Amino acid sequence: MEFFAAFILFFLALRMIVSLVNVLSIQHLPDKTPATFPKVSLLIPVRNEEATIGNLLSSIQKLDYPDFEVWICNDHSSDTTTKILTQFALEDTRFHWFDGENLPDKWIGKNFACHQLAKKASGKYLIFLDADVTLSIDSVSRAVSFFQEKKLSLLSVFPQQKLETFAAHITIPVMNWILQSLLPMKLVQISKFPSLSAANGQFMMFDAENYRENRWHEKVKNRNVEDILLARMIKSEGLEIAVLLGKRDIYCNMYQHWSEAILGFSRNIHQYFGGTKIVMFLFWFLIISEPFAVWNAFGVLGIIVFALMVIANRIFVSLACRQNIFKTILLHPLQMISFTAIVFYNLYRRKETEWKGRKIRFQD
């Protein structure tokens, strides 16, 4: 038991170091102006997004980037999304939208919408955005500058999450905690190993020529977790990728309800562990058993050391992701309950479920 407890403390210390490295390495978009300003295509798949799409399009109108177009694929929305899109297109000639084609067999809705959007785009760079994202005035300029400087084929940004409900506070930080304590984000850019990859479909920027040559979304057409898989594919081709964190530039107002977050995160959480559910389960088991094993082996002193490292880890992750440190630490036990629910829903979920009014079939 002492050996197991010692391993737990070692693993926790390692995760704490990784999260500290991610803070110190400053993985954010630099405040730089692009060398040139080629045309950028902002591409947005939408399906029943009346609650969020207006905020995104309003933020895009304020961008300081001089040459961009907006294409929106309306994927058979049944709410007032169409009305909102029509209004923006009438007010601003840079905005264009179209009704998506019927979903073919073996395609996931979002991937097919992105595939159609890429065909419409005329920019040198393609930026795919989710409808619940908002952008700061200089976000695209800074993204283009970084993309040019690093000669990338893919840039993905994990947006700064807006946590506006109690449910959001006890679910969304879980995913940041996993990513930031297991993956040194700098290695995504400098390492050649495809396994050291990450991406977030909420903001993915491609070189248009490379995208059209490879038709990336077509290659993951039936996969629910297209972002991480695309990152691994692109890196495996020897191309340069990078993943950063939002810092007052790219925001996301994600899940507001607990059940929605559990279902949403359960679709892809195993991909954080190399796509292996066994590794995911072992990580969960280790996390849940940590305090009991340490207490049993080392008593009060051990549990104090354990608690301090857990708190330090959460502080570092909160700093990197710009979350409220006090709330994150205070709600850590409830977040671990949410983590448990996400893991077990992933393990025992049905093969088919409904998402935004459409049945989807999970692909592992």
4-19: average pLDDT: 93
Closest CA to 142 of 22, 239, 242, 19: 242
pLDDT digits over 26-79, tens only? Answer: 889 999 999 999 999 999 999 999 999 999 999 999 999 999 999 999 998 999
Domain 27-164+184-254 has CATH 3.10.105.10: no
pLDDT digits over 67-76, tens only? Answer: 999 999 999 8
Q: How far is CA 218 from CA 125, 223, 224, 323, in A?
A: 18, 10, 13, 35
| Half-sphere CA count of 313, side-chain side, radius 13 A | 25
Cα–Cα dist 42/123, whole Å: 9
Beta pairing class for 133-135 and 250-252: antiparallel
pLDDT of residue 189: 87
Closest CA to 199 of 227, 174, 180: 227
Contacts for 39 with CB less than 8 Å, ≥ 6 apart: 67, 68, 69, 122, 123, 124, 125
Beta pairing class for 352-355 and 358-361: antiparallel
| CB-CB contact of 114 with 201 (8 Å) | no
- DSSP E strands, the chain: 40-46, 68-74, 95-99, 125-129, 133-135, 154-158, 160-161, 203-207, 241-245, 250-252, 352-355, 358-361
Cα–Cα dist 46/114, whole Å: 10
Question: Which strands, in side-by-side order, build the sheet including 154-158?
Answer: 95-99, 68-74, 40-46, 125-129, 203-207, 154-158, 241-245
Cα–Cα dist 289/234, whole Å: 37
| CB-CB contact of 110 with 356 (8 Å) | no
pLDDT of residue 282: 94
Can you tell me whether residue 49 is helix, strand or coil?
coil
Cα–Cα dist 108/240, whole Å: 26
- 33 token code pair: 């102006």
240-265: average pLDDT: 91
Cα–Cα dist 170/339, whole Å: 9
pLDDT digits over 110-168, tens only? Answer: 999 999 999 999 999 999 999 999 999 999 999 999 999 999 999 999 999 999 999 99
pTM above 0.75, yes or no: yes
Question: Which strands, in side-by-side order, build the sheet including 133-135?
Answer: 133-135, 250-252, 160-161
